Structure 1
Amino acid sequence: MSTNRTKRPALVADKRYSASKPAAKPRKRKARPKKVAPKGPLGWLKHIALFVLRLIWKLFWRSAVVVMLIVAIAVGYYTTTLPDASDLVDGRVRGSVTLLDREDKIFAWRGDQFGGMITANSVSEHLKHAVIATEDKRFYWHPGVDPRGIASAIKINIREGRKPWQGHGGSTLTQQTAKLLCLGVPFDPSSGMTEAEYEADCRRGTLSRKAQEAAYAMAMEVKYTKDEILTIYLNRAFLGAGARGFEAASQRYFGKSAAEVTPAESAMLAGLLVAPTRFAPTNNLDRSQNRAAVVISLMEDQGYLSASAANTARNNPAILSQAAQARAGGYFADWVMQSGPEFFTRDTTEDVIISTTLDQNMQRAAEEAMAYIFENKVKEGSEAQAAIIVMSADGAVRAMVGGRKSNVPGGWNRATQAMRQTGSAFKPFVYATAMELGYGPYDRVEDTPLVMDIPGSDPWKPENYDRQFRGVVTLTHALKDSLNIPAIRVSEAVGRENVAKVSSDFGIKSSLAEGPAIALGTSEATLIEMTGAYAGILNGGSSVTPYGLVQLRLKGDNEPLMDNAEGGIGERVISERAAADLIFMMNQVVENGTGRRAALDGRQVAGKTGTTTALRDAWFIGFSADYVAGVWMGYDDNTPLRGVTGGGLPAEIWHETMKRVHAGLPANPLPMSNPEPPRVVQTQQPSRRNNRNNNTERVLLDVLNEILGGGRN
């Protein structure tokens, strides 16, 4: 058997790649281009410039990242420290004082007035728009910082020749709120920093401070809504005249809530933000109205007011409320603030209500009287000053004018602060002493030449104002014609120490002269002291303490912390009979003597003129049955008055004041005696009143000769 064997082919694996696709060749590495050295100077410059730009770019974006991280950390930190928005609306360090007149009407504010919280939703829409149009028209669009505003501010600063960060800051309304909050750092009195220093520190405009304010503003944008930020701003902004927040300012200037203000009033309020004191309508209404017109134009440009509404607002500018316009009692308010306890007045941290004795009608009467005399009787350009006080017989001050500029809060108050020689206005206290010791209006005294030996000096030879002598005169005659020599003789007869005691008990607390010239008013006193002393004569001989504060209470409380309802009447100084005789004598000063220009038609009044050495001071102080008024006139630097005596312009100011004060009041009689002329002449030393015979004339010749020891020539 045969077998055919065929040779098999060797086993070979299939080809991995088809013939059409060749195997991949090893990938060659791309060679870097060779650096070519710059050719020529221009090439080198280009090379260096590109290098610098690349370096700057790397530094810039790396720095930007670092700054963004720092800002993010700062924003995050500030966000965690921010309280609720409602806790930030009242940022006052001091409290407020609201002063009410005798009819419980507001007439003055002191301290930081806060009218109560308002919100961006409760405030007038016009006011809201006015603030945004004036301060930050992109308020509702930026995140707390406005790059466009900053760039614009830098451009303006450079154009006006300042450094980029000086002048206009481009701050948003949120940044301004951050500044008002002082970056959340409250005032701490124990830090040793004053309130003014604290506020100055909060307003620092350094670059680092602005960076902090920017971060704080952005944190506020994270924490609060836009309306909450606006609410904080509306309540904290200072708007002049002690008003903190728009509610207080609206009440201060317009007597209404910030929810009720018109477009014109809103524009005036918003216009205060740029410079509260300068544009305060109580300082310069015209300037404030002009600023408001600018704000109205901004509101119109930004679509908040139609053209017709804007024209209406411009043509009918805002005006002050009656209380703000009158601004009566600026000097009076300052005096009351000084007379009250410091922790409830000048440095109060509470909101305080003070009821006072002020009568705004009388205040206006006094201011109008002074203005009338200076406009019609005083030479234009004169720098002479005057002061007026009107009070009741119990010392309740009803009006006070401390100078010709009657509405200057914090000004020099010549009615309460100026110590001036009283002159013959002091003589009633010489005769008050005599009346108390038993003399009568018709007792007589010599008006003859007098020489007195003064230890340590040359002999003193006093003279009357006109350098004339009248012989023997009654005490009434001596007072009505303001004779000097009889006043000295009476003072020496009754005792200088007694004269000093009576005047001091009546309220003249200033140091009194110790020599015989005390009778001529060489001592100094304030107008309020002198007027209060005359009030003691009117009320029948009891001393008074002039007062203006009636009641003090905290806002919202009904129970007073202080109460002075009983008035200022003190102890008796002279008897009612002595006071009645003295009032009769002082009535003759006005009826027939040096004070005739003070007379009021159909009304009994009494008073006394006063003129000092070299005409440096001129006084008239007097009273009706209802009110006492005192007037002083002179120069602050003691320049002599030209041709002015107490019986001249001061008496005329007094007349004009009291004529207005008494308008519409019944003509009540003075509480004075009515002594009959004497019938019997006696020459013995006068006895005390309890031994006195009524209607008896006595002559102070023998006793005075004995006391003065040959003083007559």
Structure 2
Amino acid sequence: MSKNNGFLNHLLKIDSFMDSAIYSTGKFFSNFWRGFNYTMSFMRVRGIKRFFIEIISDGLTLAFVGLIGFFMLGQYALIDVSEGWQLYQKYSVTFYDKNNNLIGHRGIRHDSNVPLEELPENMLLAALATEDRNFYSHVGVDPMGIGRALIHNIQKTSGNNHGASTITQQLAKMLFFSSEQTLERKIKEAYMALWLEANLTKNEILNLYFDRTYMGAGNFGLEAAAQYYFGKSVRDVNLAEAAMLAGLFKAPSNYAPHINLGAARGRANVVLTNMVNAGFLSHGDVFDARANPASVVNRRNPENKGEYFIDWAFEEAKKIANNRNYVLHVKTTIDLDLQAAARQVIQDNLRQNGEKYNVDQASLVSMEHDGAVLALIGGKDYRKSQFNRAVNAGRQPGSSFKPLVYLAALNYGYKPNSRVIDSKVQIKKWSPKNYNRRYIGRTTLNNALVRSINSIPVKLALEIGYKNVISTAKDLGIDAKLVANASLPLGTASISVLDLTGAYATIANGGTLAQPYGIYEIRNGTGDVIYKHDRDEFAARVVANPLKVADLKYMLGNVVSYGTGTRANLGFTKTYGKTGTTQSYRDAWFMGFTDHLVTGVWYGNDNYTPTKRLTGGNLPAMTFKTFMTDAYVARYGLKLDSLEYTAQANLITPRNAVITAILEAESRDLAAETAALQAEIPVKLIKSTAKTIKNASRHKNIITVSSLGKKSTHNAGGIVTLNGKKIGKGLRNGFKVSKPLKRPKIKITKKPKKNKVAKKTKVKKRKKVIQKNKISKKKVTKKKVAKRNKIRTKKPKKVTRVSSRKGNSAFINASGQIIILGN
């Protein structure tokens, strides 16, 4: 504390000295200017002489004003970093998985710092020749270097600009400032470079620079970079390798050898040329290095250790540490098996389908119900792009945002079987359309979500209010900015994959808030626990009515069972989810969960170019299914050899086939072949089922069904009645057979009466035929009449009852037709 007080007293002395000096200097120049003007008038200086004298005088004045401004801004810069400057941005963080296995580092590697005297001479010369040839002669700022850079940049016809920053200025930028390019920051940077030169030796400055410079691929410092790229200590690098390392100082992302070895070797040649031009080496000295350029060790699949996850966890660790501790050991929530599975499925799908759908990027987040992130993929290849799309990219979620609107409607009083109208809606000049450009009229709230109808959520938001929709989304954990406008219910706000997956985790958690987190525990450099998630975070709170959330989960389960998300149906466990597709097919999502895991998947392009009709029910849903299957195998011991049989027992049931067939008949949105592919139901079974339902319309077999506690009746013809009133035709979403049915008794009815006019016409035609063929009129026996008028209805064949593992049952006759359903 006394040390800081002494430093502040020193600053106050400097401030008072500068104030008095500025006042005295200003007074001096004021008197000098009056004397100068008097002298010019007295000596009668005219013409070109007076012109040059005034130019010189004005130049000195501007230089003086600039000097004053420089020191004033510099004084503020010094105050900004007066406390703890040596610790600023010097985090050294080591990351471990949940089993305490080392997975990576971020920040400064204190255990890998190499003293300057132990560095090879060629490494030192390569850095100085490229970054700052006059390092040992300037005072932190190099006016001659600035002049050379200005002349080169003015005269150049192509290529990159020459920088004028010295190594000391670059170090000041790393220690104290951000990467913004403003005049004020440049002035402060130069001032702090002078301050560093006054407080540190040249070798100390150079040592700090070599230890703290970012060298690409998450590595800071020469030692870490040499170990990563060449598999050796920087003490042992040769001239070619030293040149390649020195080339990384300028732009590590562009010249990182594990990404673009050709560019890295080209940059190394530039460094070798600089060493010759600076007089450090001769052409003969660099000949062998040019002929035998450096090679890098094979670093396959860095994502196996979760580079995107570590980047996110590093930022979270810095927030938790809050500049109190800088050497940290972090135990994370990552599951390396799931991380590897996620990376593999993303890369495989982009490689196999990227060109087909014109899609180049994807991201995936998987977490437990409480928000513990197990896997996080921020792009297809971390080596080529470190931008974390799962965390930092805000994209439109499309229809995957709709469940949040439906939850707000359920809170408002709606129920899954509430009747709503799918019809055109006009809000000023905007009129949303359904995916198939058609409207189905009266339907249920459940069916509207299952079919991803656009008009319904827009109408719901108008009725319940946009503020309620936004409030519900915020309660579920959405941190993104949501604007109350007409298109909000259709998912036009920009939301990250991590954010939306967290909201679905809250739904999966029964309405208890699930904030995504990636850190279990943090220890400081001495091993003391400074943070524990279970101890230091607030207790989980209920943010949504569990009963309403249960209704929403029921609807989301139907989306996967027979709606737009059937390709995501796992079969071996109950699956819930929602697809999302944005305008012009720019984004495709699938958000889903089971009783154990929550996973969000996004596909799209960084430049927002449209894909080739890629929808959320396609590649994202298939990615979800593949990843979740692998996750259950790795995490929960699912046996693949029994997976196919179990999936068939749960998916290919007569009831699912009938429901799919009925949806096919009511709307062409779900084609028979799509249902067959997505739910793995044979096309023949679907067609046979549809035919059975059509034929069964002649029989009035009444069955009792229930939905949310309400009783209704449903005959074989598809007529649904509630309390004796007809409410619709066809099996409505949300209804299920209340109990297994006994073998049905099929009643064969008589032939219905025909229209009298049609009957008379038919009799006349028959008489004409008889007369033409000269057939004598004989008395037609009752037996022949009965034969002619016989109803073409076969007697019901032997009926067999079948059932699935979940208790679903049906009665199938000998021809394979389904007569009646049971559940």
Q: Could you say whether these structures have the same fold, taking a TM-score greater than 0.5 normalized by the shorter chain as the test?
A: yes
* Distance change (3 Å), C-alpha of 1:92 and 1:480: same
Partner of 2:345, secondary structure, is helix
The residue that corresponds to 2:579 in the other structure is 609
What CA deviation, in whole Å up to 9, does each residue of 1:63-111 have, x standing for no partner? Answer: xxxxxxxxxxxxxxxxxxxxxxxxxxx9886303425143445555554
* Distance change (3 Å), C-alpha of 1:281 and 1:560: farther
Letter matched to residue 260 of structure 2:
N
Q: 1:94 and 2:64 equivalent?
A: no
* Distance change (3 Å), C-alpha of 1:293 and 1:522: closer
The residue that corresponds to 1:595 in the other structure is 565
**Shift in Å, 1:606:** 1.9
Q: Map 1:660-675; keep pairs closer than 5 Å.
A: 660-665=630-635, 666-667=637-638
Partner of 1:482, secondary structure, is coil
| CA–CA separation in structure 2 for the residues paired with 1:232 and 1:416 | 34
| CA–CA separation in structure 2 for the residues paired with 1:421 and 1:700 | 38
* Distance change (3 Å), C-alpha of 1:661 and 1:531: same
The residue that corresponds to 1:319 in the other structure is 297
**Shift in Å, 1:430:** 0.6
What CA deviation, in whole Å up to 9, does each residue of 1:394-424 have, x standing for no partner? Answer: 1122333444554567737464441525335
Partner of 1:467, secondary structure, is coil
| CA–CA separation in structure 2 for the residues paired with 1:472 and 1:181 | 66
The residue that corresponds to 2:120 in the other structure is 128
| Conserved? CA contact 1:620–1:646, under 8 Å | yes
The residue that corresponds to 2:374 in the other structure is 398
Q: 1:629 and 2:599 equivalent?
A: yes
**Shift in Å, 1:525:** 3.5
Letter matched to residue 89 of structure 2:
R
The residue that corresponds to 2:346 in the other structure is 370
Larger radius of gyration: 1
* Distance change (3 Å), C-alpha of 1:596 and 1:340: same
What CA deviation, in whole Å up to 9, does each residue of 1:647-699 have, x standing for no partner? Answer: 123223333443444443334999x9xx99996579xxx9xx8xx56999999
Unaligned runs of 5+ in 1: 1-89, 138-143, 146-156, 170-175, 205-212, 221-227, 706-713
The residue that corresponds to 2:696 in the other structure is none
| CA–CA separation in structure 2 for the residues paired with 1:531 and 1:161 | 49
The residue that corresponds to 1:68 in the other structure is none
* Distance change (3 Å), C-alpha of 1:397 and 1:343: closer
| Conserved? CA contact 1:115–1:245, under 8 Å | no
* Distance change (3 Å), C-alpha of 1:421 and 1:589: closer
Q: Which has the higher helix share?
A: 2
The residue that corresponds to 1:586 in the other structure is 556
**Shift in Å, 1:538:** 1.4
The residue that corresponds to 2:540 in the other structure is 570
The residue that corresponds to 1:482 in the other structure is 452
**Shift in Å, 1:362:** 3.5
Q: 1:444 and 2:417 equivalent?
A: yes
Match of 2:516 among 546, 550, 572: 546
Partner of 1:546, secondary structure, is coil
The residue that corresponds to 2:438 in the other structure is 467
What CA deviation, in whole Å up to 9, does each residue of 1:414-468 have, x standing for no partner? Answer: 64441525335423651575389583xxx5344655366x7x8479686564514
The residue that corresponds to 1:356 in the other structure is 332
* Distance change (3 Å), C-alpha of 1:352 and 1:446: same
**Shift in Å, 1:634:** 4.0
**Shift in Å, 1:392:** 1.9
Decide which moves more: 502-511 or 259-268.
Answer: 259-268
* Distance change (3 Å), C-alpha of 1:258 and 1:230: farther
Task: Give the alignment's Cα RMSD to 1 decimal.
Answer: 6.3
| CA–CA separation in structure 2 for the residues paired with 1:513 and 1:133 | 56
| CA–CA separation in structure 2 for the residues paired with 1:188 and 1:493 | 50
Number of aligned pairs? 552
Decide which moves more: 567-576 or 95-104.
Answer: 567-576
| CA–CA separation in structure 2 for the residues paired with 1:188 and 1:525 | 30
**Shift in Å, 1:380:** 7.2
| Conserved? CA contact 2:357–2:612, under 8 Å | no
Letter matched to residue 609 of structure 1:
T
Decide which moves more: 530-539 or 556-565.
Answer: 556-565
The residue that corresponds to 1:55 in the other structure is none
* Distance change (3 Å), C-alpha of 1:359 and 1:195: farther
Instruction: Give aligned-pair identity as a percent.
Output: 26
What CA deviation, in whole Å up to 9, does each residue of 1:472-522 have, x standing for no partner? Answer: 45x544332223455567778878765554333212345656577665445
| CA–CA separation in structure 2 for the residues paired with 1:608 and 1:544 | 19
What CA deviation, in whole Å up to 9, does each residue of 1:97-151 have, x standing for no partner? Answer: 4251434455555545444543478x5xxx63653786799xxxxxx99xxxxxx
**Shift in Å, 1:551:** 3.8
**Shift in Å, 1:282:** 4.9
**Shift in Å, 1:622:** 0.6
Asked which structure has the greater RCO (Cα within 8 Å, sep 6+), the reply is 1
The residue that corresponds to 2:619 in the other structure is 649
| CA–CA separation in structure 2 for the residues paired with 1:632 and 1:272 | 33
| Conserved? CA contact 1:511–1:524, under 8 Å | yes
**Shift in Å, 1:638:** 5.3
The residue that corresponds to 1:434 in the other structure is 410
Letter matched to residue 438 of structure 2:
R
| CA–CA separation in structure 2 for the residues paired with 1:177 and 1:496 | 54
The residue that corresponds to 2:744 in the other structure is none
| CA–CA separation in structure 2 for the residues paired with 1:563 and 1:681 | 51
| Conserved? CA contact 2:304–2:339, under 8 Å | no
| CA–CA separation in structure 2 for the residues paired with 1:437 and 1:603 | 30
* Distance change (3 Å), C-alpha of 1:582 and 1:332: same
Q: 1:420 and 2:396 equivalent?
A: yes
What CA deviation, in whole Å up to 9, does each residue of 1:188-241 have, x standing for no partner? Answer: 99xx9988767778999xxxxxxxx9xx99x98xxxxxxx99995896584623
| CA–CA separation in structure 2 for the residues paired with 1:111 and 1:194 | 27
Partner of 1:585, secondary structure, is helix
| CA–CA separation in structure 1 for the residues paired with 2:538 and 2:436 | 36
| Conserved? CA contact 1:119–1:231, under 8 Å | no
| CA–CA separation in structure 2 for the residues paired with 1:382 and 1:490 | 34
Letter matched to residue 563 of structure 1:
K
**Shift in Å, 1:577:** 5.1
* Distance change (3 Å), C-alpha of 1:330 and 1:243: closer
Partner of 1:542, secondary structure, is coil
Q: Map 1:517-532; keep pairs closer than 5 Å.
A: 519-521=489-491, 523-532=493-502
| Conserved? CA contact 1:246–1:269, under 8 Å | yes
| CA–CA separation in structure 2 for the residues paired with 1:492 and 1:679 | 38
| CA–CA separation in structure 2 for the residues paired with 1:193 and 1:96 | 28
| Conserved? CA contact 2:394–2:494, under 8 Å | no
Letter matched to residue 100 of structure 1:
F
| TM norm structure 1 | 0.57
**Shift in Å, 1:565:** 3.5
**Shift in Å, 1:573:** 3.4
| Conserved? CA contact 1:513–1:522, under 8 Å | no
Partner of 1:362, secondary structure, is helix
* Distance change (3 Å), C-alpha of 1:105 and 1:251: farther
**Shift in Å, 1:608:** 0.5
| CA–CA separation in structure 1 for the residues paired with 2:429 and 2:613 | 30
Q: Map 1:44-193; keep pairs closer than 5 Å.
A: 94-98=89-93, 100-103=95-98, 104-105=100-101, 107=103, 109-119=105-115, 128=120, 131=123
| CA–CA separation in structure 1 for the residues paired with 2:371 and 2:102 | 22
* Distance change (3 Å), C-alpha of 1:579 and 1:253: farther
| CA–CA separation in structure 1 for the residues paired with 2:153 and 2:170 | 28
What CA deviation, in whole Å up to 9, does each residue of 1:371-395 have, x standing for no partner? Answer: 3223222337946654332222111
Partner of 1:131, secondary structure, is helix
Letter matched to residue 647 of structure 1:
G
Match of 1:533 among 492, 500, 503: 503
